[in-house]
Amino acid sequence: MRTLTRGNLGIPLLLLVVLAMVTLPMPPFLLDVFFTFNIALALVVLLVAVYTMRPLEFAVFPTILLVATLMRLALNVASTRVVLLEGHEGGDAAGKVIEAFGEVVIGGNYVVGLVVFAILVIINFVVVTKGAGRISEVSARFTLDAMPGKQMAIDADLNAGLINQEEAKARRQEVTQEADFYGSMDGASKFVRGDAVAGILILVINLLGGLGIGMAQHDLSFELAVRNYSLLTIGDGLVAQIPSLLLSTAAAIMVTRVNTAEDMGGQILEQMFASPKALAISAGILTVMGLVPGMPHVAFLGLALLAGGTAWFIFRRNQARAAELAAAEQLEDEPAAAVEEHKELGWDDVSPVDMIGLEVGYRLIPMVDKTQDGQLLGRIRGVRKKLSQDLGFLVPAVHIRDNLDLMPGAYRITLMGVAVGEAEVYPERELAINPGQVFGTLKGVETRDPAFGLEAVWIEAGQKEHAQTLGYTVVDASTVVATHLNQVMSQHAHELLGHEEVQQLLELLGKSSPKLAEDLPGKVPVSTLLKVLQNLLMEQVPIRDIRTIAETLTDAAAASQDVVALTQAVRGSLSRLIIQEINGSAAELPVITLDPKLEQILLKSFQQGGAEGLMLEPGMAERLQKSLNEAAQRQEAAGKPSVLLVAAPIRPLMAKFVRYGTQQIHVLSYQEIPENKQITIVATVGGN
């Protein structure tokens, strides 16, 4: 029994039953049972489609549609055999179900029965099936076209730290399942359409074949043959068409559903009857129509009264909800205000400066409110986790507060109380970002991505799949804010690291290397260690490998306590990590070098006056900056990193120099190139 319920034998047994119905004679009692089961199955499938919140929750629907259609066609074959063999006897020769449907619908008039059957077929074939088939075809096409854009959006969220590997895998699987589902629905709609055509042909065959068999083989009169075989044929056709119509309706519901957290009934109540305005206006129109002479006054005025009463009920309900919310807010504010009046000032009233702050306008408050399903808090948590893992220390928490001085849809990112980034977003829209190559334009609010400055457009949510088809990367407002916050924290990571974080790193090091953690503070003061780690973070070098950093500083501290020299020593030890962060695992590293004459000038300046003596003439500095930017742009266009390779003594100066350029350029010294990496010089720049 357990094997049967799990489906290991259920499907083979069903196929055997279908094969038996096609090939073996079936008694009328079994026909009644199977026809009733067919109607019950169609009702269950229809109700499951109505109460399903997302189409993918009923992904097996195309298969069920195929099995139900196959079973219904097999029943038609079995009932046709019984009708043609036993139809001359009339009555319940083909079973009680066929007789009941035939007598109720025909009602003594065979023409009416044929017309009703034809109407059902037209409704099923022309209206429901054709519409559902067209929607399935378009949905399948757009779903397949949007797959690359959706995959890019998932990769972008993963790279930004908004989701982890498991969530990315689940979302990719969902994208694949969605494409498979709509592709299957496109094909399954053809089953229903073919079933409607088969129903018409079976009706004609049963009617003409029955008349021929009844008159030729059983010597029935034309009138008696028409009465017997018309009753059975129309009843048989109706018993098959009603489940077919139910399944066609279920298919139409599935392909027209929108992914929400509510079933279809909840969506209708929420979206149609949330506002009383439509019902109130409809009640007025019905009242005017009901007062026109000659109109059925009871029907129109009764419906007008019902619509008006419902509108009044919704209006009063909305007012009551608003009053409850206002009363709740007042109760929350009054005790706080009363306590505030009698409380003495103290140091608790001096608010400390937030290391990282996010201020939002009032329209963005739902994005950070857990009670309103705000997604921004979870995404910020994901950003902090990913950034902490990448950098090697725990990034401080982000303090979020509303700011009525901002525009309603604006937000501001602060660092130590100072604004370092701000932008405006549209919570109800999606941001379509141009990654560099798109195949069309979009209608919406043109802007730039606040994180990377790329061209972008705020579009309506309904344009998302179209935008992805054109090559845009589409993200929601929460992702925009989280990505911008991630970019700001990455750029200012060295400012987020303080004495407390360094002490935590030393404690973490003590768990794996207790002796090293004990010796390091005696040779390198914590303040010096902090400056070295900040220098590394300032140049986008992670401090995850704290053991290598500590060992290098312990060895180098005997020769010098200079922060720059110690930083250079640590960079040399972390050379493999630095190169991997820049160029991955590629064996070849493309680099930009300085003109030999310029490099010699800088080296002489360093030898004469040290780091403070390194100065560039303003005109030369401007030309050098321009040349570096042009070379970096060429590297970016080729999809390669921009690396400036210089002599070790002048590397800190050049790193500081390029930090203020428009392009991101990594500055390395010759000693920082691992032996297993091959250098390729792609450009030489100078101040000429």
Answer yes or no: do 473 and 547 share one domain.
Answer: no
Q: Which of 31, 100, 106 is nearest to 72 (CA)?
A: 31
Q: Strand 410-415 and strand 418-424: pairing?
A: antiparallel
CATH number at residue 552: 1.10.8.540
- On whether both 485 and 501 belong to a single domain, the answer is no
Residue 624 has pLDDT above 90, yes or no: no
Angstrom CA distances, 494 to 395, 551, 639, stand at 11, 21, 27
Span 612-631, average pLDDT: 75
pLDDT category at 653 given cuts 50, 70, 90 is confident
Number of domains composing the chain: 5
Residue 154: count of CB within 10 angstroms of its CB: 20
- Is 4 inside any structural domain? no
477: tokens are 């407002």
Q: What is the pLDDT of residues 288-317, one digit of tens each?
A: 887 878 777 777 788 888 888 888 887 787
Q: Which of 92-96, 173-177, 517-521, 655-659 has the lowest mean pLDDT?
A: 92-96
Q: How far apart are CA 158 and CA 200, in angstroms?
A: 54
Residues 677 and 102: their CA atoms lie apart, in Å, by 85
* d(C-alpha 647, C-alpha 668), whole Å: 8
Residue 147 and residue 30 share a domain: yes
Tokens read off for 128: 């429901």
Residue 351 lies in a domain: no
Helix, strand, coil: what percent of the chain each, to 5? 70, 10, 25
Exposure string over 670-682, b if 16+ CB within 10 A, otherwise e: eebbeeeeeeeeb
Per the prediction, the chain carries an average pLDDT of: 79
pTM over 0.85, yes/no: no
Residues 482 and 521 in one domain: no
The most confident of 103-112, 419-428, 669-678, by mean pLDDT: 419-428
Sheet holding 356-360, edge to edge: 398-402, 356-360, 410-415, 418-424
Examine the domain organization and report whether 517 and 484 are in the same domain.
Answer: no
Residues 98 and 34 in one domain: yes
Structure tokens at 410: 């604006």
552/221: higher pLDDT: 552
Assigned domain for 301 exists = no
Token pair for 37: 């089961």
Residues 558 and 423 grouped into a single domain = no
Comparing 215-224, 504-513, 526-535, which segment has the lowest mean pLDDT? 215-224
311 phi/psi in degrees, rounded to 5: -60, -40
- Is 515 inside any structural domain? yes
Contacts of 90 (CB under 8 A, 6+ apart): 224, 227, 228, 231, 232
Inside any domain, residue 348 = no
Max mean pLDDT among 40-54, 154-168, 202-216, 416-430 falls in: 416-430
Task: Check whether 373 has a pLDDT greater than 70.
Answer: no
pLDDT in tens, 194-249: 777 777 777 777 777 877 777 777 777 777 777 777 777 777 777 777 887 788 78
CATH of the domain at 672: 3.40.50.12790
Interaxial angle between packed helices 546-556 and 514-523, expressed in degrees from 0 to 180 and rounded to the nearest 10: 40
Which of residues 475, 494, 513 is at a domain's end?
A: 494
pLDDT digits (tens, 9 = 90+) for 274-295: 667 777 888 788 788 878 787 7
Contact between 182 and 135 under an 8 Å Cβ cutoff? The reply is no
Residue located via tokens 């009551």 = 320
H helices within 217-296, ranges in order?
222-256, 264-272, 277-291
Which domain-ending residue is among 466, 494, 522?
494
Which residue matches tokens 């009555």?
91
Residue of 55, 43, 46, 466 whose CA lies nearest to 256: 55
Query: CB under 8 Å to 35, separation ≥6 — which residues?
Result: 75, 79, 95, 97, 98, 239
More confident residue, 225 or 267: 225
Phi/psi of residue 293, nearest 5 degrees: -60, 140
Same-domain pairing of 423 and 459: yes
Determine which of 91-100, 367-376, 400-409, 507-516 has the lowest per-residue pLDDT on average. Answer: 91-100
Give residue 1's pLDDT. Answer: 47
Q: With cut-offs at 50, 70 and 90, classify the pLDDT of residue 329.
A: low
Pair 485, 507 in one domain: no
Q: Would you say residue 445 has pLDDT above 50? A: yes
pLDDT at 540 over 80: yes
**Residue % of the chain over a pLDDT of 70:** 84
H or E stretch covering 105: helix 96-106
Q: Is the pLDDT of residue 130 over 80?
A: no
Are 319 and 403 contained in the same domain? no
Asked if residue 202 and residue 142 are part of one domain, the reply reads: yes
The 10s digit of each residue's pLDDT in 10-69 is 667 777 777 777 777 777 778 788 888 888 888 888 888 887 777 777 778 788 888 888
Q: Does the pLDDT of residue 149 top 80, yes or no?
A: no
- Could you please report the per-residue DSSP string of 475-491? EEHHHHHHHHHHHHHHH
Last residue of some domain: 468, 494, 520?
A: 494
Instruction: Please report whether residue 340 resides in a domain.
Output: no
Residue 601: domain span: 583-688
Least confident of 84-93, 110-119, 551-560, 650-659: 84-93
Identify the weakest region by mean pLDDT among 144-153, 195-204, 323-332: 323-332
Residue 688 is predicted with a pLDDT of 59
Provide the percentage of residues in the chain whose pLDDT is more than 90.
Answer: 5
Q: What is the mean pLDDT of residues 519-547?
A: 89
Specify the pLDDT at position 118: 76
Looking at the structure, tell me whether residues 52 and 181 fall in a common domain. Answer: yes
> Does pLDDT of 369 surpass 50?
yes
The distance from CA 359 to its chain's CA centroid, rounded to whole angstroms, is 26
- The tens digit of pLDDT for each residue in 560-614 reads 888 888 989 998 888 888 888 888 888 888 888 888 888 888 888 777 655 554 5
Which pLDDT belongs to residue 681? 87
The answer as to whether 678 is a domain residue is yes
Q: Choose between 360 and 149: higher pLDDT.
A: 360
> Could you report how far apart the first and last alpha carbons of the chain are, in Å?
87
DSSP helix/strand/coil, 171: helix
The alpha-carbon radius of gyration of the chain (Å, integer) is 38
Is residue 221 domain-resident?
yes
Residue 456's pLDDT is what? 92
Q: Can you give the pLDDT at residue 106?
A: 62
